[in-house]
Amino acid sequence: MNRRHFLASTGASALALATPAPALAALPDFPWAKNYLKIDGHKMAYVDNGTGRPVVFLHGNPTSSYLWRGVLPHVETANRVIAPDMIGMGDSDKPDLAYTYDDHARHLHGLLDALNLSDAVLVLHDWGGALGFDWAMQNTDRVAAIAYMETIAPPVMPFDSYEAMGPLGDMFKAWRTPGVGEKMILEDNMFINEVLGKIGVAAPLSAETLAAYNSYYPDAASRAPLLAWPREVPIGGEPANTVSLTNRIADFLTTDDLPKLLFHVTPGAITPPEAVGWMQANVSNLTTIYLGPGAHFIQEDYPDEIGIALAEWIATL
């Protein structure tokens, strides 16, 4: 895949491991079969391929394990790669839930616990970062290192107010307004078609790639998690649990000596240059890799660069 340049705890229980099966949709550039494991009564889908040290790839909103398709080939040659689909997303079940942070944590953390991981490397993006940091703080003896990019982390979050968010503030305020957010995200499918497809990438996604992402969310009801996620972002003290979590992530990053790797771009979206500078000065045992111009979904713009550098870094651990 060629690089494109910038133009613009939970009490879960594992019930049964299903036979590996193909993804529900035949996605381009995604040759991996999915495994299925029931967590809290709902089927969780995940890629589990290769042997060696487990490397766990966690996606955020509005994506799925498909986000990592260009990165996984570089890492799976010498490691075991695991890439879950969050509950309600990808090939995982889509039950009638509120899709709060706690709903996602209960299912994802239950899956990671059921896989009985040890010596794991976590690779985190967007809300997958909050979930991954949270699990790491609860399982420090099972985590060897953490790589992250454009994720829920200090110093940007928690946001003091919509005004403090700059250009993002108006958009998040609209998404969190009852009726308005439903129209924008559930009915108009803005999060996939606009934010992922155009705003958050260096060049607009191809029609084929956008169709692959959209294949999991064919109607308004299926997009419920996509609307719930922006309403979980810690802004102005709400929701209290994600505000508290983000503050705990800040403490963890600045005090825990686990090896850490940050991929960053300019201008970025939730990891702008000033945030990178703060991390370089304050996050313990941190290595940073600058990829170039970009926004938020940097796996679409720099898949090979991320995959190669990640594989090399893991080999040094």
Catalytic residue status for 134: no
Residue 276, SS3?
helix
From first to last of its 317 residues, what are the pLDDT tens digits of the chain? 222 222 222 223 233 233 333 333 457 799 999 999 999 999 999 999 999 999 999 999 999 999 999 999 999 999 999 999 999 999 999 999 999 999 999 999 999 999 999 999 999 999 999 999 999 999 999 999 999 999 999 999 999 999 999 888 999 999 999 999 999 999 999 999 999 999 999 999 999 999 999 999 999 999 999 999 999 999 999 999 999 999 999 999 999 999 999 999 999 999 999 999 999 999 999 999 999 999 999 999 999 999 999 999 999 99
The first and second tokens of residue 135, run together, are 């699990």
Phi, psi of 24 (to 5 degrees): -65, -35
Taken in order 304, 230, 99, 192, is the CA torsion positive or negative? negative
Q: Mutual orientation of helices 240-255 and 273-282 as an angle, nearest 10°?
A: 50
* Residue 139 CB coordination number (10 Å): 17
> Residue type for 270, please?
I
* CA distances for 56 relative to 20, 119, 195, 220, 256, angstroms: 18, 11, 25, 30, 19
Catalytic residue status for 150: yes
Give yes or no for a contact between 271 and 153, defined as CB atoms under 8 angstroms apart.
yes
Q: What pTM value is reported for the model?
A: 0.91
Q: How far apart are CA 173 and CA 304, in angstroms?
A: 35
The catalytically annotated residue of 76, 103, 113, 126 is 126
The catalytically annotated residue of 85, 93, 103, 150 is 150
Pick the CATH number of 14-316 from 3.40.50.1820, 3.20.20.100, 3.30.300.20, 3.10.105.10: 3.40.50.1820
CA torsion 34→312→252→12, rounded to 10°? 10
Catalytic residue status for 125: no
* Residue 289 CB coordination number (10 Å): 16
The catalytically annotated residue of 42, 113, 296, 305 is 296
Q: Where are the domains of the chain?
A: 14-316
